[in-house]
Amino acid sequence: MSIALDPSAISTALGRLADQLFDAAGNAPIDLVGIRSRGDEVAERVALLLREKGAQVRLGVLDISLYRDDFEHLRENPKLQGSEIDFPIDDSHVILVDDVIFTGRTIRAALDALFDYGRPSSIALAVLIDRGHRELPIEPRYVGVKMETERLDHVIVRLAKTDGEDSVELTRKS
């Protein structure tokens, strides 16, 4: 196991995401929806950086637990925390935010969950880490860090609010 990103590298990646989103938005408001858990913290931290730049940001949180196709996840993490989206999704340009994209299955579940709230004009994806190895045709538009991994490697993200520290560990599987 090795530290792939330290707090400084995570901060830099969050700043990179905020810069990309700010540049793409122009003067338009930015609607961020973070995926529980950790995608919501990434979204919160990016929203703070965007507001510091003067952007108008609306922030929501999406719990996808009941939309996942790996029901084993519910046995391991049965706590449903609920979604909190207090702005209209219909006709908005939503930026879905997650900590890591791997196979794309989490994002597929998030899209299903998001459409229960309405029909956005567009949905883009922003991720702190893109580690590759997609199983579905889903690609992020905004990426903080692209990390080279092997398929069986594990990427463990810890964020300050959720886990008490900022770090990303990479465990290589032979």
3-state secondary structure the chain: CEEEECHHHHHHHHHHHHHHHHHHHCCCCEEEEEECCCHHHHHHHHHHHHHHCCCCEEEEEECCHHHCCCCHHHHHCCCCCCCECCCCCCCCEEEEEEEEECCCHHHHHHHHHHHCCCCCCEEEEEEEEECCCCCCCCCCCEEEEECCCCCCCEEEEECHHHHCCCEEEEECCC
Query: How much is the pLDDT for 1?
Result: 76
pLDDT above 80 (res 164): yes
| Domain range 9-67+83-171, CATH class | alpha beta
Average pLDDT, the chain: 93
Rounded to 5 degrees, φ, ψ at 37 are -105, 145
Parse the chain into domains and list their residue ranges: 9-67+83-171
pLDDT, tens digit, for every residue of 76-108? 555 667 899 999 999 999 999 999 999 999 999
Q: What percentage of the chain reaches a pLDDT higher than 70?
A: 91
CA 44, CA 48: separation in Å to the nearest integer? 6
Q: What is the pTM of this model?
A: 0.92
Nearest to 126 by CA among 108, 109, 144: 144
pLDDT, tens digit, for every residue of 5-31? 999 999 999 999 999 999 999 999 999
**Mean pLDDT score, 55-79:** 77
pLDDT above 70 (res 138): yes
Contact 31, 87 (CB under 8 A): yes
**Mean pLDDT score, 27-50:** 96
Query: How much is the pLDDT for 39?
Result: 98
Confidence tier at 66 by pLDDT (50, 70, 90): confident
CA 33, CA 85: separation in Å to the nearest integer? 8
Q: Cis peptide before 65, with omega less than 30 degrees from 0?
A: no
